[in-house]
Amino acid sequence: MKTGAKILVESLQREGVDILFGYPGGVVLPIYDELYDSSLKHILVRHEQAAAHAADGYARASGKVGACLATSGPGACNLVTGIATAYMDSVPMVAITGQVPTSLLGNDAFQESDITGITLPITKHNYLLKDSRDVARVVKEAFFIAGTGRPGPVLIDIPKDVSTGVVDKFEYPDKVSLRGYNPTYKGHRRQIDKAIELIVKAERPVIYAGGGVICSNASAELVEFATLLSIPVTTTLMGIGCIPGDHPLNLGMLGMHGTEYANFAITESDLLIAIGARFDDRVIGKAEKFAPHAKIIHIDIDPAEIGKNKRVDVPIVGDTRLVLKDMLALIKKTGAKEAWLKRVKHWKQHHPLKYKKDDSLHPQYIIRQLSELVKGEAVIVSEVGQNQMWTAQWFSFKHPRTWITSGGLGTMGYGFPAAIGAHFARPDLPVFDIAGDGSIQMNIQEMGTAAANNIPVKIAILNNMYLGMVRQWQELFFDRRYSYTELPPVEFVKIANAYGIKGVKVESVDEVVPALKAALDCDGPFVMDFRIEREENVFPMVPAGAAINEMIGGHTPS
- Structural domain spans, the chain: 2-167, 189-350, 363-531
**Fold that domain 363-531 belongs to in CATH:** Rossmann fold (3.40.50)
- Tell how far CA 451 is from the center of its chain: 24
Stated as kind and residue range, the H or E segment containing 207 is strand 205-209
Per-residue pLDDT tens digits for 160-173: 999 999 999 889 99
At residue 556 the predicted structure's pLDDT band, cuts being 50, 70 and 90, is: low
Give residue 335's pLDDT: 78
Percent of the chain with pLDDT over 90: 95
- Return phi, psi of residue 244, to 5°: -55, 145
Q: Angle at the Cα of 410 (from 505 to 389), degrees rounded to 5?
A: 55
Same CATH topology for 2-167 and 363-531?
yes
Q: Which member of 15, 48, 141, 268 is catalytic?
A: 48
Q: Is 110 one of the annotated active-site residues of the chain?
A: yes
* Average pLDDT of the residues in 352-380: 96
Question: Is residue 160 among the annotated active site residues?
Answer: yes
423-449: average pLDDT: 98
Q: Which of 469, 528, 541, 551 is catalytic?
A: 469
Helices and strands counted in the chain (H then E): 22, 20
Question: Residue 52 pLDDT > 90, yes or no?
Answer: yes
Which residues partner with 274 through β-bridges?
208, 298
State the catalytic residue, choosing from 160, 295, 337, 348. 160
Q: What are phi and psi for residue 528, nearest 5 degrees?
A: -120, 120
Q: Do the beta carbons of residue 517 and residue 373 sit within 8 Å?
A: yes
Which pLDDT band holds residue 248 (cuts at 50, 70, 90)?
very high
Instruction: Single out the catalytic residue among 110, 308, 372, 491.
Output: 110
**φ and ψ of 168, to 5 deg:** -65, -40
State yes or no: pLDDT of 85 exceeds 90: yes
Peptide bond connecting 352 to the previous residue in cis, omega within 30 degrees of 0: no
The alpha-helical segments, DSSP class H, found in 384-530 are 386-394, 415-425, 447-452, 468-477, 492-498, 512-521
Q: What does 74-128 look like in DSSP terms, one character per residue?
A: HHHHTTHHHHHHHHHTT--EEEEEEE--GGGTTTT-TT---HHHHHGGGSSEEEE
The strand order across the sheet containing 153-159 reads: 41-44, 19-22, 66-70, 93-99, 153-159, 125-128
> Do the Cβ atoms of 244 and 376 come closer than 8 Å?
yes
Q: Give the mean model confidence (pLDDT) for residues 171-180.
A: 92
Is the pLDDT assigned to residue 558 strictly greater than 60? no
Contact indicator for 141, 176 with CB cutoff of 8 Å:
yes
Is the pLDDT at 260 greater than 70? The verdict is yes
Neighbours of 544 (CB within 10 A): 12
Q: Is pLDDT of 264 > 90?
A: yes
State the catalytic residue, choosing from 111, 191, 369, 445. 111
Is residue 447 part of the annotated active site? The answer reads no
Dihedral angle computed from the Cα positions of residues 431, 216, 218 and 276, in that order, rounded to the nearest 10 degrees:
-100
The pTM of this model reads 0.96
Is the per-residue pLDDT at 485 higher than 80? yes
Write out pLDDT tens, residues 194-230. Answer: 999 999 999 999 999 999 999 999 999 999 999 999 9
Q: Which CATH architecture has domain 189-350?
A: 3-Layer(aba) Sandwich (3.40)
Would strands 166-167 and 2-3 be described as parallel, antiparallel, or unpaired?
antiparallel
Q: What is the pLDDT of residue 333?
A: 80
- CA angle, 476 then 478 then 480, to 5°: 70
Check pLDDT > 90 for residue 256: yes
Is residue 112 annotated as a catalytic residue, yes or no?
no
pLDDT band at 466 (very low <50, low <70, confident <90, very high): very high
What is the C-alpha to C-alpha distance for residues 400 and 276, in angstroms, rounded to an integer?
Answer: 14
Radius of gyration of the chain (CA): 24
CATH of 2-167, one of 3.30.70.360, 3.30.470.10, 3.30.565.10, 3.40.50.970: 3.40.50.970
- Predicted pLDDT of residue 169: 87
Confidence at residue 372, expressed as pLDDT on a 0 to 100 scale: 98
Predicted confidence band at 336 (pLDDT cuts at 50, 70, 90)?
Answer: confident
